[in-house]
Chains A and B, each alone.
Chain A
Amino acid sequence: MKKSYPYLTLLALVVFNFLNANAQISKAEIRATGLTCSMCSNAINKQLKALPEVANITTDLNTNTFTVTLNENTSITPKTFKQSVEKAGFFIGSLLLTSKTSSIKNEKYIVVDAKTMDSEEVTYQVLDKGYVTDKEYKKLSKSLKKMGTYLANNEDDFHIKILN
């Protein structure tokens, strides 16, 4: 009996992931901010490396950006990146994600600009509170004030701006 538990857990995970089918992010570009030099600390790198979904991380020291390549078909969400950066003691200044266009038409993603997505892959920025700087969030709250969902700050829906 004891031995079957791992399989049950696995099954539960598979079902859970299926229900949470999401945008299958392939790449994330995270710019971190904070009171101290974010690249001078290994903390963010360590937190990101510890994620099982992460395949590779490169850093751009000039732009304070971490470029994270993800394994295929993971169910990682923007929230995981936010949590990792905050656990390291920093904040997200901007978060750009790349996904297959076909996988983005998901109810959790609310596209704020009416851009058509005709290429196979799409790069987009997450605009929610905690994913942009405080200053930008204030600006966005004004420009998106007609969007009730944006102001509601629901942790699990994401407002995105298409960049390509």
Chain B
Amino acid sequence: MKTVILFILFLSFSIQAQIKVGDTLPNFTLKNSNNVDVSSTSFKNKYVLVDFWASWCAPCRKGNKELVKLYKASDATKFKILGVSLDTDIKKWNKAIEKDNIKFTQVNDPKEFDSKTAILFGVEELPRQFLFDTKGILIAINPTVDEISNLTKK
């Protein structure tokens, strides 16, 4: 009986395994649109916004417009955006990048909500954004564009 309770407890914890403010940027490597590996560790010493999205997610596409503007206006030596698309259809993903005129780094984890990184970050809905500071510590989940500008100015 005890083991059953322990098992249920373990399950309930593992289900809620979502990263929270104060946690460090998880290590993961995914392919970008040129089929080249991009590692999350390459963003160290910079502010980085990890942006989960998909081409079929209308609110994400709207958000892309804002991110493109934000990225243009920010200092690329201090602030980076890493877009993680959960698209299973690579063609649609590439089309969306082109259409939304995205210039920041884009990688793809093609299994929708079953993607490794989606599980790693505990992403259950799109869009979902995580802002890490220069030490790789998570400082905000789903920040607004204004909040991102303020937080990355320090």
| A5-63 residues at the B interface, CB under 8 angstroms | 36-37, 39-43, 45-46, 59, 61-62
| B119-138 residues at the A interface, CB under 8 angstroms | 123-127
| B2-50 residues at the A interface, CB under 8 angstroms | none
Interchain CA distance A41-B58 in the complex, whole Å: 12
Q: Which of A37, A43, A45, A59 contacts B58 (CB 8 A)?
A: A37
- B76 within 8 A of partner (CB): no
Chain A: residues with Cβ within 8 Å of the partner, total of: 12
Pair B56/A41 contact, Cβ less than 8 Å: no
Q: Which of A39, A45, A62 contacts B57 (CB 8 A)?
A: A39
Pair B59/A42 contact, Cβ less than 8 Å: no
Instruction: Please give me the residue from chain B that is nearest to A64 by CB atom.
Output: B56
Residues of B within 8 A of A36 (CB): 59
Residues of A within 8 A of B104 (CB): none
| A80-138 residues at the B interface, CB under 8 angstroms | none
Residues of B within 8 A of A43 (CB): 124-125
Interchain CA distance A41-B127 in the complex, whole Å: 9
- B71 within 8 A of partner (CB): no
Residues of A within 8 A of B127 (CB): 40
| Complex A-B, nearest 5 residue pairs according to Cβ-Cβ distance, in ascending order | A42-B113, A61-B56, A41-B125, A40-B126, A42-B124
List 17 additional A-B contacts (Cβ < 8 Å) besides A45-B113, A59-B112.
A37-B57, A37-B59, A39-B56, A39-B57, A40-B57, A40-B58, A40-B59, A40-B60, A40-B127, A41-B125, A41-B126, A42-B123, A42-B125, A43-B124, A43-B125, A46-B124, A61-B56
